[in-house]
Amino acid sequence: MLADMDVRLVNRGAGAFRRPPPLLCDSPATVRPRRRRRSVSRQEEASSRQRLCCAGCGGFVAERDAGFSVNGSHRHLGTNPHGLTFEIGCFRTAPGCHQVGEETAEWSWFPGYRWRVALCRACGMHLGWCFRGGEPAFYGLVLDQLRSCDQESL
């Protein structure tokens, strides 16, 4: 894709960027590789804002548009048996998560669903839960544990 971008820059017409002629050198030791400047397109910027990453390590977790409503809402508050309250968002998929532990229906925040813990594939941080048993299966991800991939926090 980067090579395609270079070609487009060169082929813009009058006043366009032109590559300098290659240097002729007697020794490979005198050849310095040119650093390519990576230009980020608006589409790439918008795409990175649509990607959600782990707040701990920055690893990709899910696409923002994988979010959907369960029981009439995308966001839910749930309190576990230890009294900790989590605000979660519901997502159809979360490729950056892996599930651990046994499925259980105990203390499920969604009647008819069983859950397993969902961890970040990159660093192992707890990101939420995977809920199955009802239709459809989904991930309930702790919103405080996510950020937009191009920002410090969500």
More confident residue, 74 or 17: 74
- Residue 102, pLDDT score: 96
Q: What is the pLDDT of residues 19-30, one digit of tens each?
A: 444 333 333 443
- Residue 49, pLDDT score: 54
CA dihedral 94, 98, 103, 106 (to 10 degrees): -70
Over residues 67-82, the mean pLDDT reads 95
CA distance 142 to 70: 15
Run of H or E including 91: strand 85-91
Over residues 5-18, the mean pLDDT reads 39
Would you kindly state where each structural domain of the chain is located, as residue ranges? 53-102+110-148
- Residue 99, pLDDT score: 97
- Residue 135, pLDDT score: 86
Q: What is the pTM of this model?
A: 0.67
Over residues 37-61, the mean pLDDT reads 71
The per-residue pLDDT of the chain, averaged, comes to 77
Run of H or E including 44: helix 42-49
**Is 86 a residue whose pLDDT tops 90?**
yes
Question: 53-102+110-148 in CATH: which number?
Answer: 2.170.150.20
Residues whose CB falls within 8 Å of the CB of residue 108, separated by 6 or more in sequence, listed in order: 114, 115, 131
